């Protein structure tokens, strides 16, 4: 019988995908104001985060955004009306002013995020001119 390692829940990382691998999403004239990803609600998802304590954001930037630097961030909501950052500040967040794979730090989840919540991605600090393009965008939880 093969040996099967037993992992503690803290060792298991789950990834939630917002933009699929192999897809390129273009954001024409990304605005400076905080705006839902691509200005649309179609990338929202629902996930039960009850048993998770940390999160990080991973964004593959194919074409850079504004040099401000423009940012991509993740938020949660219980009702799809009022949105909060996963740590109740402004994290997780990555700068998208250069190309490549951007990875935020692991952040502790706010108490309100540890529930069955809606998740979305937002952009902020664009310049209304730059057109960033994205490959895979995902959130990891552990």
Task: Note the pLDDT tens digit of each residue in 6-17.
Answer: 334 555 577 777
Instruction: Give me the pLDDT at residue 75, please.
Output: 97
Instruction: Give me the pLDDT at residue 76, please.
Output: 97
Instruction: Give me the pLDDT at residue 4, please.
Output: 41
103, part of any domain: yes
The whole domain housing 62 covers 12-141
4, part of any domain: no
117, part of any domain: yes
Give CA separation, 104 vs 95, 116, 140, in Å: 9, 23, 10
Instruction: Give me the pLDDT at residue 10, please.
Output: 53
Instruction: Give me the pLDDT at residue 52, please.
Output: 94
Which residues of the chain carry a pLDDT beneath 50? 1-8
- Find out whether 12 and 43 touch, Cβ atoms under 8 Å: no
Give one DSSP letter per residue of 76-107, joined into a string.
EESSSSS-EETTSSS-SEEE-SS-EEEEPPPE
Contacts of 23 by beta carbon, 8 Å cutoff, 6+ apart:
135, 136
The CATH number that applies at residue 117 is 2.60.120
| pTM recorded for the entire structure | 0.88
Instruction: Give me the pLDDT at residue 91, please.
Output: 95
Count of structural domains, the chain: 1
Q: What is the SS3 assignment for 32?
A: coil
């Amino acid at each position: 019988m093969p040996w099967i390692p037993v992992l503690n829940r803290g060792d298991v990382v789950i990834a939630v995908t917002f933009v699929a691998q192999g897809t390129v999403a273009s954001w024409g004239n990304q605005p400076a104001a905080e705006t839902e990803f691509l200005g649309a609600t179609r990338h929202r998802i629902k996930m039960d985060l009850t048993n998770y304590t940390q999160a990080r954001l991973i964004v593959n930037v194919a074409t850079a955004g504004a040099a401000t630097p423009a940012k991509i961030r993740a938020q949660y909501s219980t009702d799809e009306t009022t949105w909060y950052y996963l740590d109740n500040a402004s994290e997780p967040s990555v700068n998208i002013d250069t190309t490549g794979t951007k990875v935020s730090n692991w952040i502790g989840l706010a108490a309100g995020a540890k529930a069955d919540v809606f998740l979305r991605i937002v952009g902020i600090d664009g310049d209304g001119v730059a057109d960033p393009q994205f490959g895979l965008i995902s959130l990891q939880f552990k």
